Protein backbone atom coordinates (compact mmCIF):
# COMPACT_ATOMS: atom_id res chain seq x y z
CA UNK A 1 0.00 0.00 0.00
CA UNK A 2 2.78 2.42 0.87
CA UNK A 3 5.37 0.91 -1.47
CA UNK A 4 4.30 2.61 -4.67
CA UNK A 5 5.78 6.00 -5.56
CA UNK A 6 3.80 9.16 -4.88
CA UNK A 7 2.06 10.71 -7.90
CA UNK A 8 3.75 13.72 -9.45
CA UNK A 9 1.66 16.91 -9.67
CA UNK A 10 0.76 18.07 -13.18
CA UNK A 11 1.75 21.54 -14.34
CA UNK A 12 -1.46 22.08 -16.31
CA UNK A 13 -3.50 21.88 -13.11
CA UNK A 14 -1.44 24.67 -11.58
CA UNK A 15 -1.84 26.70 -14.77
CA UNK A 16 -5.60 26.20 -14.68
CA UNK A 17 -5.75 27.35 -11.06
CA UNK A 18 -3.69 30.44 -11.92
CA UNK A 19 -5.96 31.27 -14.86
CA UNK A 20 -9.08 30.95 -12.72
CA UNK A 21 -7.62 33.41 -10.20
CA UNK A 22 -6.04 35.85 -12.64
CA UNK A 23 -8.77 36.18 -15.29
CA UNK A 24 -11.33 38.01 -13.10
CA UNK A 25 -8.57 40.04 -11.46
CA UNK A 26 -7.24 41.19 -14.82
CA UNK A 27 -10.70 42.12 -16.07
CA UNK A 28 -11.34 44.09 -12.88
CA UNK A 29 -8.01 45.94 -13.10
CA UNK A 30 -8.62 46.86 -16.74
CA UNK A 31 -11.45 49.10 -15.57
CA UNK A 32 -9.11 51.28 -13.53
CA UNK A 33 -5.72 51.14 -15.29
CA UNK A 34 -5.41 52.45 -18.85
CA UNK A 35 -3.00 50.36 -20.92
CA UNK A 36 -3.16 49.05 -24.50
CA UNK A 37 -4.64 45.61 -25.08
CA UNK A 38 -1.41 43.85 -26.12
CA UNK A 39 0.31 45.06 -22.95
CA UNK A 40 -2.53 43.63 -20.86
CA UNK A 41 -2.26 40.36 -22.77
CA UNK A 42 1.48 40.06 -22.19
CA UNK A 43 1.10 40.99 -18.52
CA UNK A 44 -1.65 38.39 -18.11
CA UNK A 45 0.40 35.64 -19.78
CA UNK A 46 3.51 36.47 -17.75
CA UNK A 47 1.57 36.61 -14.47
CA UNK A 48 -0.22 33.32 -15.24
CA UNK A 49 3.04 31.52 -16.03
CA UNK A 50 4.80 32.94 -12.97
CA UNK A 51 1.94 32.08 -10.61
CA UNK A 52 1.45 28.60 -12.04
CA UNK A 53 5.18 27.85 -11.80
CA UNK A 54 5.15 28.99 -8.19
CA UNK A 55 2.15 26.80 -7.34
CA UNK A 56 3.61 23.81 -9.18
CA UNK A 57 6.99 24.04 -7.45
CA UNK A 58 5.39 24.46 -4.04
CA UNK A 59 3.21 21.38 -4.51
CA UNK A 60 6.02 19.36 -6.05
CA UNK A 61 8.50 20.12 -3.29
CA UNK A 62 6.08 19.62 -0.42
CA UNK A 63 8.31 17.77 2.02
CA UNK A 64 5.54 17.28 4.56
CA UNK A 65 3.53 14.90 2.38
CA UNK A 66 6.47 12.61 1.72
CA UNK A 67 7.55 12.70 5.35
CA UNK A 68 4.06 11.73 6.50
CA UNK A 69 3.93 8.82 4.09
CA UNK A 70 7.33 7.58 5.23
CA UNK A 71 6.37 7.77 8.90
CA UNK A 72 3.15 5.83 8.25
CA UNK A 73 5.11 3.19 6.33
CA UNK A 74 7.66 2.90 9.14
CA UNK A 75 4.91 2.69 11.75
CA UNK A 76 3.10 -0.14 9.95
CA UNK A 77 6.29 -2.15 9.44
CA UNK A 78 7.52 -1.84 13.03
CA UNK A 79 4.29 -2.13 15.02
CA UNK A 80 3.59 -5.27 17.00
CA UNK A 81 -0.01 -6.30 17.56
CA UNK A 82 -1.47 -6.58 21.07
CA UNK A 83 -0.85 -9.74 23.13
CA UNK A 84 1.96 -10.99 20.95
CA UNK A 85 4.97 -12.61 22.55
CA UNK A 86 8.30 -11.94 20.99
CA UNK A 87 11.41 -14.06 21.55
CA UNK A 88 14.40 -12.43 23.08
**What does pTM read for this prediction?**
0.62
The 10s digit of each residue's pLDDT in 12-70 is: 998 999 999 999 999 899 889 998 989 999 999 999 999 999 988 888 877 566 666 66
Which is higher by pLDDT, 50 or 5? 50
Pairwise CA distance, residues 49 & 14, whole Å: 9
Range of the domain at 73: 11-77
Q: How many domains does the chain have?
A: 1
Decide if 87 is inside a domain: no
Pairwise CA distance, residues 6 & 52, whole Å: 21
Amino acid sequence: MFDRPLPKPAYWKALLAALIVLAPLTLFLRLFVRMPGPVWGLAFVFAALALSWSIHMRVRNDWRAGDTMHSQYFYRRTTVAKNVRTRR
